[in-house]
């Protein structure tokens, strides 16, 4: 049996009458009407009880007249469960809204589900608990209209004051409409707050076309952050929460776990925003709803790359090492992901991605001067041996049988050190030989990798134990001239191979977050604004604008 709420007092005569009528006239589930004689006797008894209560200090209420008592027994005030279900079925059939929560609401009432919000006691504080949250949706840039707040409030008042008659204000129609709209708003709100109102995996991984022909289209992967989506039992569980009087608890549990969500809502609460600022706020609050397995706030030490800021922050406790970074262009965007930095390789060789071979290298197939100038060599995959560039055609370069590799050391596109982390895109954080990129405002210049301004400082940050000997080796290795002497060149400084280091494990691994926020707090907690360099705000807004104020 469901727990029934005890009335904690009345706010006036109208609500008193409502409580009486709901409690004793309106027996849901019974198709037969209550006899007027029994009803009248019952109401007269309660009236005498109210007079006695008044003598004990309760708020004075007017005693209804006999005429009013008889009027209350009128058919206009009788709830009929069968009629309510008929109205609910019609509402479900007429509903054309397209959210998953809307489809779940329709299915529930089309299948004859139990009434959840309205019972023989009327409506209780569960509806009020939901309205408290719905009244605050404008603080996150949403319109109350999306959740039907005005209609819910209007019908709730009508039912509680028995402000009903016929037509659209027929009590059974009002009760059905209230029941349906409360369920729909509850599912919309809790699903959206719990998991986000959009699915970023679907949106961003079907945004940029990689290849397209008459048979199929493939897309670039741009989003690989593990975000949770509603499991199969989410909506049935939510419906049980209503029935079992756990609405307030479930609403609290549905609030986003990302600390940024509360910061953004608090910062902009009550402020008058321009259209541009409102869209920016709406999109960033939505990003903060996406429920992840991990957040920066869970760690004392981590690396954060916020693409729109063009900065990398290496954070440990209250200290932060910040540096400029360059990332992917608009055509070769840096993907968003969570990972852990596991290793750093000094003077790495660069295996050139096939996409770059197609765009840049293939046109120079067989050109030895081009390969020597860029310090490229060709490796036979099966034998592991180098191959003369003159013997490899353009067609051969496009097969998986050959690699094009750039020698490590000065001039390598990866710079003198690369920071490796597991990901599905073959991207890294690395040094660069193109230092000019850090002087630009828009530093979208790479094929997707992240180039950093202070690679040595980042290497030291990643070390758990700041071993001076190891730090010296990393520093020396990043500056030693490892290139071969060419004919006619001056002798090079002798390399101290004892001080060279090739690879250093990062133990423990350091969490890495590559994110995209156009609103984000600095270390002092001040919200900073960044340009929408990839146009992701506008992409999100196309999905969110129907929710907007």
| Domain architecture of the chain: domains with CATH | 76-224 (no CATH), 295-480+496-530 (2.40.440.10)
Higher-scoring residue by pLDDT: 495, 22: 495
Average pLDDT, the chain: 86
Q: pLDDT value at position 68?
A: 56
Residue 38 has pLDDT above 70, yes or no: no
Confidence of residue 74 (pLDDT cuts 50, 70, 90): low
CA distances for 13 relative to 24, 456, 521, angstroms: 16, 76, 51
CA distance 402 to 393: 11
Distance (Å, whole) CA 395 – CA 257: 52
Report percent pLDDT > 90 for the chain: 66
pTM of the model: 0.82
Please give the average per-residue pLDDT across 356-374, as a whole number.
Answer: 89
Mean per-residue pLDDT, 398-420: 92
Question: CA 204 to CA 232: how far, in whole Å?
Answer: 23
Taking Cα atoms as reference points, which of 493, 465, 470, 448 lies closest to residue 208? 448
307 or 36, higher pLDDT: 307
For the chain, give the percent of residues with pLDDT over 70. Answer: 85
Q: Which phi-psi region, left, alpha or beta, contains residue 88 (left: φ > 0; alpha: ψ -120 to 50)?
A: alpha
Q: Could you say which DSSP state residue 515 is in?
A: E
pLDDT digits (tens, 9 = 90+) for 105-139: 999 999 999 999 998 777 889 999 999 999 999 98
pLDDT of residue 101: 96
Rounded distance between C-alpha atoms, residue 175 and residue 127, angstroms = 13
Residue 336, strand partner residues: 223
Q: Is residue 31 very low, low, confident or very high in pLDDT (cuts 50, 70, 90)? A: very low
Positions annotated as catalytic residues are: 430, 449
Specify which residues 321 forms β-bridges with.
314
Alpha-carbon distance values, 370 to 276, 289, 351, 487 (Å): 48, 50, 16, 18
* pLDDT (tens digit per residue) in 234-256: 999 999 999 999 999 999 999 99
Per-residue pLDDT, 42: 44
- Residue 198: φ, ψ to 5°: -130, 160
Q: How confident is the model at residue 35 (pLDDT cuts 50, 70, 90)?
A: very low
- Give the pLDDT mean for 474-485: 88
Top-confidence residue, 450 or 398: 450
Q: Which two tokens stand for residue 546?
A: 């129907």
Q: With 80 as the cut, is the pLDDT of residue 407 above it?
A: yes
Reported confidence tier of residue 523, pLDDT bands at 50, 70, 90: confident
274-288 mean pLDDT: 94
Contact 398, 361 (CB under 8 A): no
Give the pLDDT band of residue 168 (cuts 50, 70, 90): confident
**Confidence at residue 19, expressed as pLDDT on a 0 to 100 scale:** 40
Averaged pLDDT, 540-544: 96
Given a cut of 50, is residue 27 above it in pLDDT?
no
**Mean pLDDT of the region 468-473:** 97
């Amino acid at each position: 049996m469901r727990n029934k709420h005890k009335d904690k007092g009345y706010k006036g005569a109208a609500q008193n009458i409502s409580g009486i009528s709901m409690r004793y006239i309106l027996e849901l589930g019974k198709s037969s009407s209550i006899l007027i004689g029994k009803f009248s006797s019952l109401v007269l008894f309660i009236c005498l009880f109210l007079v006695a209560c008044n003598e004990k200090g309760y708020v004075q209420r007017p005693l209804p007249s006999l005429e009013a008592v008889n009027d209350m027994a009128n058919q206009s005030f009788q709830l009929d469960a069968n009629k309510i279900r008929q109205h609910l079925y019609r509402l479900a059939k007429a509903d054309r809204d397209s959210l998953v929560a809307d489809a779940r609401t329709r299915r529930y009432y089309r299948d004859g589900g139990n009434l959840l919000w309205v019972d023989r006691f009327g409506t209780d504080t569960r509806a009020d608990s939901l309205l408290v949250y719905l009244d605050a949706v404008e603080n996150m840039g949403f319109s109350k209209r999306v959740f039907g707040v005005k209609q819910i409030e209007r019908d709730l008042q009508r039912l509680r004051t028995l402000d009903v008659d016929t037509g659209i204000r027929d009590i059974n129609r009002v009760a059905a409409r209230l029941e349906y709209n409360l369920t729909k708003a509850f599912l919309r709100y809790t699903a959206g707050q719990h998991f986000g109102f959009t699915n970023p995996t679907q949106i961003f991984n079907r945004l940029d076309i990689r290849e397209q022909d008459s048979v199929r289209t493939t897309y670039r992967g741009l989003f690989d952050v593990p975000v949770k989506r509603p499991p199969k039992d989410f909506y049935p569980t939510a419906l049980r929460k209503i029935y079992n009087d756990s609405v307030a608890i479930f609403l609290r549990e549905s609030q986003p776990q990302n600390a940024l969500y509360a910061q953004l809502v608090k910062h902009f609460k009550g402020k008058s925003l321009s259209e541009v600022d409102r869209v920016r706020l709406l999109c960033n609050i939505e990003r903060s709803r996406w429920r992840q397995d991990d957040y920066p706030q869970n760690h004392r030490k981590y690396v954060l790359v916020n693409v729109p800021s063009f900065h990398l922050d290496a954070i440990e406790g209250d200290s932060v090492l910040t540096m400029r970074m360059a990332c992917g262009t608009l055509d070769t965007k840096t993907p968003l992901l969570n990972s852990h930095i596991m290793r750093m390789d000094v003077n790495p060789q660069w295996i050139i991605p096939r996409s770059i071979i197609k765009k840049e290298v293939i046109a120079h197939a067989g050109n030895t001067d081009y390969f020597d100038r860029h310090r490229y060599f060709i490796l036979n995959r099966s034998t592991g041996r180098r191959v003369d560039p003159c013997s490899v055609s353009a067609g051969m370069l496009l097969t998986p049988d050959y690699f094009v590799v750039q020698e490590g050391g000065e001039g390598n596109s990866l710079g003198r050190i690369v920071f490796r982390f597991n990901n599905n895109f073959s991207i890294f954080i690395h040094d660069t030989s193109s230092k000019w990129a850090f002087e630009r405002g828009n530093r979208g210049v790479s094929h997707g990798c992240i180039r950093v301004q202070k690679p040595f400082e980042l290497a030291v940050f990643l070390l758990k134990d700041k071993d001076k000997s190891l730090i010296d080796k990393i520093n020396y290795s990043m500056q030693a001239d490892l290139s071969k002497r060419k004919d006619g060149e001056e002798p090079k400084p002798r390399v101290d191979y004892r001080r060279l280091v090739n690879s250093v494990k990062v133990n423990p691994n350091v969490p890495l977050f590559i994110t995209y926020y156009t609103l984000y707090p600095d270390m002092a907690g001040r919200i900073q604004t960044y340009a929408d360099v990839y146009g992701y705000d506008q992409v999100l807004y196309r999905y969110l604008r129907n929710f907007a104020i």
